[in-house]
Amino acid sequence: MELYVNFNLPKEAEEELGRYYKIVKGGDLSGVEVAFVYRLSPEELKKMPKLKFIQVVLAGLDHLPWEHIPPHVVVAGNAGSNADAVTEFALGLLLASYKRIIHYSEKMRRGDYDKNLEVPLLQGKKVAVLGLGEIGIRVARLLAALGAEVWGFARTPREGPWRFTSSLEEALRGAKAAVCALPLTRRTRGLIRYEHLALMAEDGVFVNVGRAEVVDREGALRIVKERPRFIFASDVWWGRNDFAKDAEFFSLPNVVATPWVAGGYGSEEVWRKMVMDAVKNLVAYATGGPVRNIARRDDYL
Amino acid sequence: MELYVNFNLPKEAEEELGRYYKIVKGGDLSGVEVAFVYRLSPEELKKMPKLKFIQVVLAGLDHLPWEHIPPHVVVAGNAGSNADAVTEFALGLLLASYKRIIHYSEKMRRGDYDKNLEVPLLQGKKVAVLGLGEIGIRVARLLAALGAEVWGFARTPREGPWRFTSSLEEALRGAKAAVCALPLTRRTRGLIRYEHLALMAEDGVFVNVGRAEVVDREGALRIVKERPRFIFASDVWWGRNDFAKDAEFFSLPNVVATPWVAGGYGSEEVWRKMVMDAVKNLVAYATGGPVRNIARRDDYL
């Protein structure tokens, strides 16, 4: 079976896949039945009329040209492969912001030693976790272990050490902190608007480690400008990797920004793990084993 | 029974103590049998010949004038009262440093969007927790929940989701991170020296939320100057609240500094909880109940 790969594979991945597939890296793709991709263009799709299965190395699938993918082609994502890394980062962004570590560390560098800002306890406080996928569940469990009153928001009920709600308003009302780990789908694009963020505590901390586009950009900008004690901490930005487009945010003292480094983009080690997890799924496809992370087409179209 | 109090009491604390003690705030201390203090001077001690019991509102007892306290006087500290707050802060300092959130957030503010530094996974990595008291135990459990390989160092073996060692060298050798929550006693003063820090990974992260003096100042300065990838993150400084004395550290890019705000000094809410926990102990002393956190005199003399 021919496998098209359009990004640099680590050697161990190439060796493993070579046992099950004939790897094709370009040229004539007319015999390709399976594609292992990072991004995928409509032009590449056109060259693969026999395509049956697309394995994406990233956890998110929002960037695929869905309208060009025929309905019979199965698409698998890679959720979970970077979940541990992103969970660590999400908890780091939350605590660095919530415990005012960023604030105080910037002040200490400037030689300003005033203890001018209260460092609140997280224990016993309402914290919303938006999205109960591989990342959200892990984050919610750790927050519960820290003693926070965790509210889990998702489309489908999931049990755990949190109060479940399918109402975004209920999750955010009065919350001292929120961690967003929602996937970007047609249902979540622009879901979190100004009026939702405004439901949080005046000095609330909103953390995003999912996709920027889940949050309405103007709503986020308005809340941080209106509420100097509110903190917006995010690893993902609307300009994607063109961070200059969102520079307006980065200069604000109550914005904590990192350049999309929570998962595979920030770490060779995590990237390698992501590739190898995806390789396992490709081997499962080739050998008739159970294939994980199959996308729901109607989430995107 | 007369109780001497030498700091501002919240109203609820004064009311509760008033039920069991006659509160004295200054003047004639000759009838005082119990003291509830923040700091205590040799001069104050001299005025209280009938003193039997000292309750300190702080978790640490290193600042007391031990050589002036008669051996028959029982001293109680307040360990545990700020443990949840300091645990949250310790985890925040660790993750903010380890996941390079401080590094990237400083870069983003400057408009530098390069992903120039690997963000390592914590999962599966060796992390040392120095001190297995109220804070150390909580930190160690959370690190274990994050999937780290936790090594617990203390004088006395304690069981938990960590490998116990009473060897500082074994705890730190090859560790990617360490969190120090040791009390400052005559045994721990200057305990952690350059050669111990040098055992850690080249890009290791050392976090201190205990007392600065547990770490040798020159050793810490040498390691951060010698190893640009090593990170020294601390809430406590040798100059205590005179932070200017340690300004040499704060300008270094691989030092993360906060101004002693992890516990009661950073939060009214935490301070109030500390006072009320200490009040409970004073009530126990007055009513013959079990008194907690009694200090071992030979830890300090």
At residue B268 the predicted structure's pLDDT band, cuts being 50, 70 and 90, is very high
Residue A103 sits in the same domain as residue A119: yes
Residue from A84, A105, A116 whose CB has the most chain B CBs within 10 Å, to mutate: A105
What are the start-end ranges of the E strands in chain B?
A: 2-5, 22-24, 32-37, 53-56, 74-76, 126-130, 149-153, 163-165, 177-180, 205-208, 231-234, 255-257
CB contact under 8 A, A104 and B259: yes
pLDDT greater than 90 at residue B124: yes
Q: How many residues does chain B have?
A: 301
At residue B99 the predicted structure's pLDDT band, cuts being 50, 70 and 90, is very high
What are the start-end ranges of the E strands in B6-111?
A: 22-24, 32-37, 53-56, 74-76
Residue A288 sits in the same domain as residue A258: no
Nearest neighbour of B99 by CB, restricted to A89, A243, A269: A89
Residue A108 sits in the same domain as residue A161: yes
| Chain B nearest C-alpha distance from A46 (Å) | 34
Average pLDDT, chain B: 96
CB contact under 8 A, A115 and B259: yes
pLDDT at A203: 97
- A98 to chain B, any CB pair closer than 8 A? The answer is yes
CB contact under 8 A, B91 and A91: yes
Bridge-based pairing state of the strands B205-208 and B177-180: parallel
**Segment-wise mean pLDDT, segments of 10 residues, chain A, 301 residues:** 95 96 96 96 96 95 94 95 97 98 96 95 98 97 98 96 98 98 95 98 97 98 98 97 96 96 93 96 96 93 87
pLDDT greater than 90 at residue B139: yes
CB contact under 8 A, A145 and B145: yes
pLDDT at B12: 96
pLDDT at B123: 97
Structure tokens at B50: 């009938």
Residue from B82, B107, B119 whose CB has the most chain A CBs within 10 Å, to mutate: B119
Residue B212 sits in the same domain as residue B150: yes
Residue B113 sits in the same domain as residue B256: yes
Mean local confidence (pLDDT), B43-47: 96
Which of chain B's residues have a Cβ under 8 Å away from the Cβ of A265?
115
Q: Where in the sequence is the domain holding B17, given as residue range(s)?
A: 2-79+266-299
- B121 to chain A, any CB pair closer than 8 A? The answer is yes
CB contact under 8 A, A269 and B96: no
CA pair distance B131, B166, nearest whole angstrom: 10
At residue B4 the predicted structure's pLDDT band, cuts being 50, 70 and 90, is very high
Cα–Cα–Cα angle for A248, A249, A255, nearest 5°?
Answer: 155
Nearest alpha carbon to residue A176 among A137, A223, A101, A121: A121
* ipTM of this complex: 0.94
At residue B128 the predicted structure's pLDDT band, cuts being 50, 70 and 90, is very high
- B272 to chain A, any CB pair closer than 8 A? The answer is no
CB contact under 8 A, B106 and A104: no
Residue in chain B lying closest to A138 (CA): B146
Q: Which 186-215 residues of chain A touch chain B by CB within 8 A? A: none
pLDDT at A130: 98
CB contact under 8 A, B258 and A91: no
User: Domain tally for chain B?
Assistant: 2
CB contact under 8 A, B96 and A102: yes
CATH of residue A143's domain is 3.40.50.720
pLDDT at A202: 98
pLDDT at A254: 97
- A142 to chain B, any CB pair closer than 8 A? The answer is yes
CB contact under 8 A, B119 and A259: no
Residue B120 sits in the same domain as residue B230: yes
Residue B61 sits in the same domain as residue B96: no
pLDDT at B301: 87
pLDDT at A301: 87
Residue B110 sits in the same domain as residue B257: yes
Nearest neighbour of B92 by CB, restricted to A101, A257, A270: A101
CA pair distance A224, B54, nearest whole angstrom: 47
pLDDT greater than 90 at residue B60: no
Element (H, E) at A231: strand A231-234
Nearest neighbour of A99 by CB, restricted to B89, B98, B120: B89
| Chain A nearest C-alpha distance from B296 (Å) | 30
Tally Cβ neighbours within 10 Å of residue B165: 17
| Chain A nearest C-alpha distance from B254 (Å) | 11
pLDDT at B176: 98
**Dihedral angle, C-alpha B154, B157, B163, B166, nearest 10 °:** 50
Mean local confidence (pLDDT), B136-147: 98
Residue A151 sits in the same domain as residue A214: yes
At residue B68 the predicted structure's pLDDT band, cuts being 50, 70 and 90, is very high
pLDDT at B238: 98
Residue B145 sits in the same domain as residue B31: no
Which of chain B's residues have a Cβ under 8 Å away from the Cβ of A93?
101
Asked if A193 contacts A216 with a C-beta cutoff of 8 angstroms, the reply is yes
Residue B239 sits in the same domain as residue B181: yes
Q: How far lies A164's CA from each of A154, A168, B130, in Å?
A: 8, 11, 37
CB contact under 8 A, A259 and B102: no
- A218 to chain B, any CB pair closer than 8 A? The answer is no
Q: Which 245-264 residues of chain A touch chain B by CB within 8 A? A: 247, 250-251, 256-262
> What number of C-beta contacts closer than 8 Å exist between A and B?
170
Q: How many residues does chain A have?
A: 301
CB contact under 8 A, B259 and A98: no
Residue B159 sits in the same domain as residue B295: no
CA pair distance A296, B215, nearest whole angstrom: 55
pLDDT at B201: 98
CA pair distance B179, B133, nearest whole angstrom: 12
